[in-house]
A and B are shown apart, each in its own frame.
Chain A
């Protein structure tokens, strides 16, 4: 168990619902769920196998105090942010954000599944876009391909070769970005300072350690 996880488990003792309400974004909505199942039936990743536990089940498990099972589940990471559930829920739960919020919290506690590809994408995307203020699509793609090691990266790169060549031909992928000539914001320093402050304030509000 990571330190952060131990500390939180101790702080909330057996009240997992309260923990989610206070720590996960929009977590205070979980108790409003009436278990109708509309969200599960609306979720695209449910039609194409993906979810271990659809949103309805996750919310039930939270109320049943199944802390470990919920926080280590791969389910939340399957959310495509399509907002189907969100617009259909009769109780108006902001399900998309709750799923993201639980996933984010699990990640902060070190409980997210190891090598979870969507978590990796999230990390890579955010770091890529906040480094200069703008996404560098070439570097983003490189770091995504090479996450499983050099050979796997080459293989993935070859599989995607046609896709990339098509984009280069159509002038939609700028190879110069790999060399650092890509798009950037002028006030990168200001952006860094602003984000550092935001992380500090968020940790303070949630009574957590500052991460990264």
Chain B
């Protein structure tokens, strides 16, 4: 039995000083398949790269990283193959980018990798099997790097004060609903945040000068991968989220996860058809807001990648 995420997350924060060693913060970057060029979250990647440039964070892609399979592959993959996929990334990171934490931008990648790290560190049987499988690909695990979400890097390694310094154009007068969703929040969560009402996303919004509206669907699940396989159920959940954001005066939604972003954005037109609603709410990444507040262009913020265009922000960027 291993269910030790609390202990593990306590331990994870020992590495807080990581990267400060060399003056510049460096991380082994795990973009995940949805954030590659031409993939469904490629604009997330664009904005993250612009954001990191401003904040002097160096992210180096893990050479030849592979997709983790996400939560949904559980049935076909089984246990060990799933962990082995993550372990391959650990081994590659450790070999090519020794001493650097792995940072993921996708909540699902982050969760999957952390789960694997936790299981391997608590089960010598699983670890031994994993090593044997890795050998087939000429790899080996010595120490498993810390697995961080980009949001953790921002708020733990840099801190809100640091993030505020480069703000040139605060997003004044704009109302956002911070949509945290599930997988950056549960089961691990961001250190020090509650499961029921995490505030880091609201704080990030406020850091760049926007207004974070309170609403009651902040941590509601959007249906995740079931948006594909059970669209009616997932869309009912998505409808609750968007509706509550509108009811509380939000103009836009902000998310930390590519799947939340896609689910809450691209199905709005179908929900409108089904329920007679008139949803047309842009859904942004936190990193897009930051780039704009740091004075970046619409292109640097990846605004051209939003299916529901964020007209207000496009205008803001051109001023």
User: What separation, in Å, do the CA atoms of A193 and B306 have in the docked complex?
Assistant: 39
Q: Could you say which of A2-10, A11-19, A57-65, A184-192 contacts chain B? A: A184-192
Let me know if B237 and A48 touch, CB within 8 A: yes
User: What separation, in Å, do the CA atoms of A177 and B306 have in the docked complex?
Assistant: 20
Let me know if A121 and B269 touch, CB within 8 A: no
Residues of B contacting A126 with CB < 8 Å?
Answer: 69, 73, 76-77
Consensus secondary structure, chain A interface: helix
Q: Which of A41-55 contact B (CB under 8 A)?
A: 44-45, 48-50
Let me know if A122 and B33 touch, CB within 8 A: no
User: What separation, in Å, do the CA atoms of A94 and B75 have in the docked complex?
Assistant: 17
Query: Which of chain B's residues has its CB closest to A195's CB?
Result: B81
Interface membership of B143, Cβ < 8 A: no
CB distance from A4 to the nearest CB of B (A): 14
Q: Could you say which of B11-19, B47-55, B129-137, B168-176 contacts chain A? A: B129-137
> Given A50-B233, A125-B69, A162-B269, A201–B34 Cβ distance below 8 Å?
no
Please classify how large the interface on chain B is, using the bins under 10, 10 to 19, 20 to 34, 35 or more: 35 or more
Query: Which of chain A's residues has its CB closest to B76's CB?
Result: A126
Let me know if B38 and A171 touch, CB within 8 A: yes
> Given A171-B305, A193-B137, A201-B80, A121–B225 Cβ distance below 8 Å?
yes
- How many A-B Cβ pairs are below 8 Å? 226
CB-contact partner of B72 in A48, A50, A81, A197, under 8 A: A81
Q: Which of A83-120 contact B (CB under 8 A)?
A: 83-84, 86-88, 92, 94, 96, 100-101, 103-104, 107-108, 112, 117-120
Q: Which 9 A-B pairs have the closest CB atoms?
A: A174-B38, A190-B137, A83-B186, A82-B221, A126-B73, A117-B229, A166-B307, A126-B76, A133-B66
Q: Can you list 27 A-B pairs, Cβ within 8 angstroms, ordered by A? A: A29-B3, A44-B223, A82-B221, A83-B182, A100-B75, A108-B78, A118-B75, A118-B226, A118-B230, A121-B72, A122-B75, A123-B75, A133-B64, A166-B269, A166-B307, A169-B307, A171-B43, A172-B43, A183-B36, A190-B138, A194-B84, A194-B133, A194-B134, A197-B133, A198-B81, A198-B84, A198-B129
| Other A-B pairs beyond A82-B186, A129-B69, A133-B64, 5, CB < 8 Å | A118-B225, A172-B38, A172-B39, A194-B88, A202-B129
Interface residues, chain B, CB within 8 Å of chain A? 1, 3, 33-34, 36-43, 64-67, 69-81, 83-85, 88, 125, 129-130, 132-139, 182-183, 186-187, 195, 220-221, 223-226, 228-230, 233-234, 236-237, 266-267, 269-270, 304-307
Interface residues, chain A, CB within 8 Å of chain B? 25, 28-29, 44-45, 48-50, 78, 80-84, 86-88, 92, 94, 96, 100-101, 103-104, 107-108, 112, 117-123, 125-127, 129-130, 133-135, 137, 144, 159, 162-163, 166-167, 169-174, 176-177, 182-183, 185-187, 190-191, 193-199, 201-202, 205, 212
